[in-house]
Chain A
Amino acid sequence: MGRIARLGEYTLYYLFDLGRMGKFLFFAVRGFFARPFRLVEVFRQVRLIGANSFVVIFFTAAFTGMVLGVQGYYTLRKFGSEGALGSAVALTLIRELGPVLTALMVTGRAGSAMCAEIGIMRNSEQLDALVCMGVDPFRYLISPKVLATLLSVPVLTQIFTVVGIYGGYLSGVMLLGVNPGAYFAGMEQSVLNQDINLGIIKSFVFALIIVWVCAAKGFYVHEIRNAGFGAEGVSRVTTQAVVLSSISVLIWDYLLTALLL
């Protein structure tokens, strides 16, 4: 009986949590259209989430591309197809690694910071203060972050892809001697609009997952089961947000690939 009661309790809690997350997204999106608009805050968030992630994205992309160049070269050489290196690197980056690694990097750098910031605001009653002043915390705080993430992540993904392709060029062409013409010509022939669209769709979906999970976890830090209180609660919830966001990105990567490819 105890186990059944506990199971029921868990089920109810997770159903409630699901509803709360849905409500969070609804209010956050509704906040885009509520006046007064907070365009300056959106640009500030684009700087924090997007521009400040550039260096991390650049280095991750460059070395991922270089590794792809080396791995691809030695694999393709077995079949005498080194010329297809450009296609292999580009397709891997455009369809998969660009969107996924960008999302994981943004989760680690900006998503965790977002969750901790909102969680601390909750604990120090800053969110209550906004409500008491008659200011909608979703419009004021959450919506600009959602919009900024939706704008930043797709752009960062495209930057990742381009830098990664040149990383592959550096290792495959300049260090291992693949023909530069073949590298780009193969890419031009094999990469279709469909591939680019898939990467763009993924980047938007991943952006939404990151900001939704990370912002909501911080926002509801006081209501999350077993999260604890104060600084400990914020740190636990931030860890949960990063883990949940990363796993969700990987699951949705598979689902979108299976659906759209």
Chain B
Amino acid sequence: MADEAIIELVDVVKSFGAQRVLDHVNLRIPVGRTTVIAGGSGQGKSVSLKLILGLMRPDSGRILVQGKDITIMKPWELNRMRLGFGVLFQGAALLDSLTVFDNVALPLRERTRLRPAEISDQVFRSLEQFDLRGHEEKYPAQLSGGMKKRVGLARALQLEPKIMLFDEPTTGLDPERTMEIYRLFFDTQKHFGYTSIIVSHDIPKIFNLADQVVLLNQGQIVTFESPEEIQLSAGSATLDFLSKSMGDVYRSSALEGTL
């Protein structure tokens, strides 16, 4: 029996002008598992995340988060629903005018009734966990790409979200920093037990994190129950889809025998 879905996209259509990015897409994100959404540039990966977060509305179709249709929610309902989400943006999206400490403390100050001393304790514990002690007074412009991602992840986890969304978490990072982010991902998922959705084109490495893989191409998706299933699909019509979806990345990975 399939796992219970925490997020469901039902017959979702989203277009920008004449370009249809998602064309009657159906997708189930199982609870407690890691779903990787992969695809080439401009195939609608980030749009899918924004739709799930309610930052965009679909042209038609329904998006269910924990059984509730977010496409018909009022702004305050969406706001409350988003408390269950944590997001690590592509560039970490740290507020430039705030220090590392203030960035991590932001959700606690704005969304909880904790006292300043309690906030300070929690933030310092997080900074310790993410190996950021000693950097708390720095501003985002003074941080490396990897450190920004760590601060972004620390901030996203402050309210202990049930669902974590990662938008290209390793883009622009060297292999060592990439591995560091993956380690943090494993550690924090084990600790917090969140459901995660990772949008990435870091193929094939990202498949190591995946329980389920979703490939996007020209508005269509193909879902694989596991990364191994992709290998089993080789030689079928899916191969063509894979090749189109991933383009050069897929071809080079296939040539190297890493996929």
Contact = CB atoms under 8 A, between A and B. Distances in A.
Interface of A: 36, 120-121, 124-126, 128-136, 140
B80 interface: yes
A121 B98 CA distance: 13
Given A128-B89, A129-B89, A135 B96 contact: no
B99 interface: no
B111 A126 contact: no
Given A124-B91, A125-B93, A126-B93, A133 B106 contact: yes
A140 B110 contact: yes
Given A124-B93, A125-B91, A126-B95, A134 B83 contact: yes
Contacts of A129: 87, 89, 93-95
Given A128-B55, A129-B87, A135 B110 contact: yes
Interface of B: 50, 53, 55, 79-80, 82-83, 85, 87, 89-91, 93-96, 106-107, 109-111, 155, 159
A133 B111 contact: yes
A166 to B, nearest CB: 37
A133 B55 contact: no
7 contacts: A120-B96, A125-B90, A128-B89, A134-B82, A134-B111, A135-B106, A135-B111
Contacts of B93: 124-126, 128-129
Contacts of A124: 91, 93, 96
Contacts of A121: 95-96
A135 B91 CA distance: 19
Contacts of A133: 82, 106-107, 110-111, 155, 159
Contacts of A132: 53, 55, 82, 85, 87
Contacts of B107: 133-135
Nearest to B54: A131
B95 A134 contact: no
Contacts of B159: 133
A124 B155 CA distance: 16
Nearest to A133: B107
B110 A125 contact: no
A126 B140 CA distance: 12
